[in-house]
Chains A and B, each alone.
Chain A
Amino acid sequence: MRRFSAAEKREWGLFALLVSPNLFLLGVFTYWPLIYNGYLSFVRWDLLSPVKIWVGWSNYTYLFTSPDFGAILFNTLFFTLGSVVALCVLGLAVALLLNQKLRWRNSARSVIFSPVMLSGAAIGIVWIYIFDPRYGLLDVLIRLAGMRSPNWLLDPNWAMLAVIIVHVWKNLGYAVVILLAGLQAIPKELYEAAGVDGAGSIARFRAVTLPGLSPVLFFLVLTSILAGFQSFDIVKVMTEGGPIRSTTTLIYALYQEGFVAFNAGRAGVASVLLFGIMLVFTIVQFRYSEKNVHYA
C-alpha cells in the first residue's frame, strides 16, 4: 500500500479544509432534501400532522393512473420542446442579425437582453393585459392584420401557446447572447476560405456557421430544456395551471399537490419523476461535453 508523504498529507488536509464548508452546505441544502423527498414519496403526509403514514408505492400508483397524468406529461413536453425550438430558431435569427455591423447594434443587444433580468412574475402580470382579447395590445395588432384575437388565457387551446410566448420573450436575450458568443468564436479564416472555394452565403451558413456553432447550440438546447422543465413563475402568475389544467406542467402539478392540496407524498412522486427526467438530460450533457470540449 502506498504511503502518503508528509507534504501530500498536508495537501490533502488543506484540500479537505477548503472543500468541507461547501460540501457541508451542499449536503444540508441539496443532498439531504433530495433523499428526504424520496422518503416523502412513500408516505401520506399533509405537511402538518405529526405522523407520516407509510403507504408504499400507492402515491406512485395514484400519479401514474391519474386521468390528468397523461395531459400533464404532454403539457410539460409541449411547453419544453415548444419553447426550446422557438428559442433556438429565433435566437439564431436575432444573433445572426446582431452579428452584422449594424448601427445601434450595441443598443439592440441590450434591449434584447433586458427581459432576462426582469422578474417572471412582473412580466406575467404585464402580459395578462397584453393578451386580453378586449383591450390588450396584442388584440390591437391582430386587428390591424384584419383578424380577431383568440381568448388567449381562457381558452384551453391557446393558453399554453400564450405561456410559451411569454417564456420565449423573456429568455430570448439569453439565447442570443450565448449564440452571439458562439458566432464570434468561429474563426474568420474559415469564412474566407469558404469564400475562396466559391461558397455562397447559404452554403457558408451550412458548412461553416452551423458546424462551428454546434457545441454552443447543444449547450443552449440542454440548458433551455432544463430551464423549461423548471419554469414556474409565468404559469403561476398568468394561468395558475388552467384553464382546465391546460397549462399544468409537471413542476406546477408538483406545486399544486404539495402546497395547494398539501399532499407531500404525491408532490414527492412528481419531484422524483422530475428529478429523473432532469438527471437523464444532465448525464447526456456531461457525456457530450466530455467528448466535445474542443472543436474538431
Chain B
Amino acid sequence: MSNQLSRRQFLWSAGAGVSALALAACVPATLPAAQPDAAPAAEPVTLTVWSSFSGKNGEAETELVKRFNESQSNVVVDYQFQGNYEETAQKVTAALQARTAPEVSLLSDVWWFKFYLSQNLLPLDDLLSAQNIDLADYQDSLINEGVRQGKHYWMPFARSTPLFYYNKEKWAAAGLPDRGPETWDEFVEWAPTLLQKEGDELKVSAFAHPDGASYIAWLFQGVAWQFNGSYSDPDFTMRMTDEATLEAGQFYKDTVHNYGWAVPSKDISSDFINGLTAASMMSTGSMGGIKANATFEFGTAFLPKKYQFGCCTGGAGLAILASTPAEKQEAAMSYIAFVSNPENTTYWAQNTGYMPVRKSALQSEAMQSYFVEFPQFKTATEQLALTRPQDAARVFVPNGDQIIGSALERITVQSDDVAVAFADVNAILETEAQPVLEALRAIEG
C-alpha cells in the first residue's frame, strides 16, 4: 500500500519533471559530461552502443548484449536501437555535433568511411594488441575492408553478401533442377516457366528488384562485375558509362521491360516469403527472417555468372567513436571483441544469416553440424571466399549508393534509356567525389 504512488506524489514529480526540462533547456548543450577523476573499482563502466537491427536480427543482437553483460562485471552495455543504417548514421552525425555520441556504433558499408574521413573514428590497433585479439582469425576480406593506411577502424560484425534465393516449390512445379542458375543466360531460359499469370496480369514473377532506398545499387554491384563492368576504379575514375557496365544495365532493364519476368518491388524479402516472386537476389542477412517466415522450402545459390563470377561484400561493422574518453576505450574494444568472438559470431550467423567473421568459427563443430542441418547457409559461407570489396563510387562517395540507385530505378521502374540514365549518374558521381578526394589528400597525403 505504502509503495503505491499517491496522486500528490504524482503531481509533485510531474511538476518537478517539467521544471527540470525547462531548466535543461537553458543549460548550454556543450557542457561537458561530468567525468569522475578516478572511477572507484566497484563502479562498472557504462558503454552506449548504437545499432540498427530489428525483428529477428534485433533479438539476436539483444541476446549478444545480454551475454556480454552477464559475462563480466566491469562494463555494462546500454544497447540502443537507432533505426536502419541510414538513420543510425544520421543520428551519429547529429550526436557528434551535440557531443552526445555513443562510444560504439554500428556503421554500414556505405557510412563508416564518411566518419573516417571526418576523423571521428578511433584507430583500434593499440586496443587490439593490448587485448591480444587474434586479427589473423578474422576473415581476411572482411577485416581488411576497415583498414586505412595500415590501421584498423571498422571491425566486421554483421557482414553479408548478396545471395541468390529461390523457392523450391515453384522450381519443382516448373520442372527445373534443384539448384540456382549457373549463368544469367540459363536463368533467361528458366524464368518464363516460373511466371504465373491470370490473363495478362502477372501474379507471380520470376525475379524482383528492390528500389533505390532498399539498396538496388548493392545488388547490382555484382551484376556489373559479372558483365566485366564496374561502378568505378579505386582511384575514383567513374565507370558507369563503360560499355560493359551499360550492357549490365541493359540486361537489368530487359528483365522488366523486355523479358517481362522481373518486377520492381517495394519489399523483395516479403514478396519472396509470400510467394509473389519465385527468386531474387537478397542479402545473406535476410536469411534468418526468411527461414523463420517462409512456409515453403527455399534454396540458396551463388550469384549467376555472365562473362565471369562477381559478388561483393556488404553489411555493417562496429567502430569506436574518437570522442570516446580514454577510460572507456578499452571497454568499448572488449565489447566489439566479445560479439565477434568465434562463439558469438557463430550464434549471430546462425540466427541471422550474416557471415561468421572468424575463420575458426567456420571450422567449429557447431558450425559444421549447422551446415548439415541448414545447407542453405553453407552456400553463403562458401560464396564469401569469392567476394571482393565494393567499388569506391558506391561506398566512398557521399550518398553514392542512392545516386547509383536512382539510375537503376529509372531503368527498372520507368524503362528510361540506360545510356542516358548512367551518363547522368556518372556526371553526378564525378562531382560528388571531389570533396572526398580533397579530404583524402588532406588526411592520407
Q: Are B406 and A245 in contact (CB under 8 A)?
A: yes
A242 to B96, Cβ gap below 8 A?
Answer: no
- Asked if B266 contacts A46 (CB within 8 A), the reply is no
Task: Decide: A242 near B114, CB < 8 A? Known: A156-B413, A156-B414.
Answer: no
Extra contacts besides A46-B435, A260-B402 (14): CB < 8 Å: A25-B25, A47-B94, A49-B118, A128-B266, A154-B264, A154-B265, A154-B266, A154-B413, A156-B413, A243-B264, A243-B414, A244-B413, A259-B90, A263-B398
**A10 CB-CB contact with B under 8 Å:** no
Given the complex, which residues of B lie within 8 Å of A296, measured CB to CB?
none
Give A105-136 as 1s and 0s: 1 = Cβ < 8 Å from B's Cβ atoms: 00000000000000000000000100010110
- CB nearest neighbor in A for B265: A154
Per-residue A-contact encoding for B417-440, CB less than 8 Å = 1, 0 else: 000000010000000000100010
Q: Is A9 an interface residue (CB 8 A)?
A: no
Would A262 and B398 be within 8 Å (CB), given that A25-B25, A48-B118 are in contact? yes
Instruction: List the B side residues contacting A47 at CB < 8 Å.
Output: 93-94, 97
Q: Mark A206-242, 1 if CB is under 8 A from B, else 0.
A: 0000000000000000000000000000000000101
A262-B93 CB under 8 A given contacts A134-B276, A154-B266: yes
Q: In the complex, A124 Cα to B133 Cα: how many Å? A: 46
Q: A44-B435, A48-B114 are in contact. Are A242 and B212 (CB under 8 A)?
A: yes
- Which B residues lie within 8 Å of A89 (CB)? none
Which residues of B in the span 200-230 have a Cβ within 8 Å of any Cβ on A? Answer: 201, 203, 211-213
Q: List residues of chain A with CB within 8 A of the CB of B409.
A: 242-244
A136 to B86, CA, bound (A): 28
Complex Cα distance A135/B275, Å? 12
For the complex, give the distance between the alpha carbons of A84 and B414 in Å.
29
Q: How many angstroms between the C-alpha atoms of A242 and B410 in the bound complex? A: 10
Cross-chain contact of A242 among B86, B97, B115, B213 (Cβ < 8 A): B213
Q: Which of B97, B118, B203, B398 contacts A261 (CB 8 A)?
A: B398
7 shortest interchain CB distances as A-B pairs: A48-B118, A261-B399, A240-B213, A243-B413, A259-B90, A49-B118, A47-B93
Per the bound structure, the CA–CA distance linking A243 and B210 in Å amounts to 11
Interface centre among A128, A134, A155 (most CB of B within 10 A): A134
Which one of B203, B266, B398, B435 has the greatest number of beta carbons of chain A within 10 Å? B266
Tell whether B183 is near chain A: CB-to-CB under 8 Å: no
User: Cα distance A154–B93 when bound, in Å?
Assistant: 31
A selection of 15 A-B contacts at a CB cut-off of 8 Å is: A25-B25, A44-B435, A49-B117, A49-B439, A132-B266, A153-B266, A154-B211, A156-B414, A244-B410, A244-B413, A259-B90, A260-B399, A261-B399, A261-B402, A262-B114
Q: Once the chains bind, are A244 and B93 in contact (CB under 8 Å)? A: no
Q: In the complex, A25 Cα to B266 Cα: how many Å?
A: 43
A261: chain B residues within 8 A (beta carbon): 398-399, 402
Interface size of B in residues (CB-CB distance below 8 Å): 33
Minimal beta-carbon separation of A169 from chain B (angstroms)? 20
**A260 close to B86 (CB less than 8 A):** yes
B96: chain A residues within 8 A (beta carbon): 48
Residues of B within 8 A of A260 (CB): 86, 90, 399, 402
Give A164-195 interface residues, CB cut-off 8 Å to B: none
The verdict on A262 contacting B399 (CB below 8 Å), with A48-B115, A128-B266, A243-B409 known, is yes
Chain A residue with Cβ nearest B263: A154
CA distance A67 to B213 in the complex (A): 20
Nearest CB in chain B: distance from A140 CB, A: 15
Q: Give Cα A49–Cα B118 distance, bound, in whole angstroms.
A: 5
B120 within 8 Å of A (CB atoms): yes
Q: Which of B25, B413, B439 has the most CB of A within 10 A?
A: B413
- Contacting B at CB under 8 A, from A140-159, are 148, 153-156
**Contact partners of A148 in chain B: CB under 8 A:** 201
Q: Is the CB of B120 within 8 A of A48?
A: yes
**Can you list, as one digit per residue, whether each of B295-328 has a CB less than 8 Å from chain A (1) or not (0)?**
0000000000000000000000000000000000
B399 to chain A, nearest CB (A): 4
Q: Which residues of chain B are near A242, meaning CB under 8 Å?
A: 211-213, 409
CA of A240 to CA of B203 in the docked complex: distance in angstroms?
26
- How far in angstroms is the closest Cβ of chain A from B102? 15
Alpha-carbon distance A48/B120, docked complex (angstroms): 8
Q: Do A46 and B118 have beta carbons less than 8 Å apart?
A: yes
Which residues of chain A are within 8 angstroms of B212 by Cβ–Cβ distance? Answer: 242
Q: Mark B64-102, 1 if CB is under 8 A from A, else 0.
A: 000000000000000000000010001001101100000
| Shortest CB distance B99–A (Å) | 13
Q: Mark B271-304, 1 if CB is under 8 A from A, else 0.
A: 0001010000000000000000000000000000
CB neighbours (8 Å) of A244 from chain B are 406, 409-410, 413-414
* Beta-carbon nearest neighbor of A153 in chain B: B266
Q: If A48-B93, A48-B120, A240-B213 touch, does A134 touch B413 (CB 8 Å cutoff)?
A: no
In the bound assembly, the distance between CA atoms of A261 and B399 in angstroms comes to 5
> How would residues 1 to 34 of chain B score, 1 for a CB under 8 Å from any chain A CB and 0 otherwise?
0000000000000000000000001000000000
A153-B213 Cα distance, complex, nearest whole Å = 13
- What chain B residues lie within 8 Å of A156 (beta carbons)? 413-414
Q: Give Cα A256 to B94, complex, Å.
A: 15
Residues on A with beta carbons closer than 8 Å to the beta carbon of B90: 259-260
In the complex, the chain B residue whose C-beta lies closest to that of A48 is B118
Known contacts being A47-B93, A134-B276, A261-B398, is A243 close to B120, with CB within 8 Å? no
Give complex CA distance A168, B86 in Å.
Answer: 29
* Residues in chain A near residue B276, CB distance under 8 A: 134
Q: What is the CA–CA distance of A240 and B211 in the complex, to the nearest angstrom? A: 10
Closest Cβ of chain A to B91, distance in Å, is 10
Tell me which residues across on chain A come within 8 A of B398, comparing CB atoms.
46, 261-263
User: How far apart are the CA atoms of A242 and B414 in the complex, in Å?
Assistant: 12
Specify which chain A residues have a CB less than 8 angstroms from the CB of B118 in the assembled complex: 46, 48-49
* Known A156-B413, A240-B213, A242-B409: A46·B114 in contact at CB below 8 Å: yes
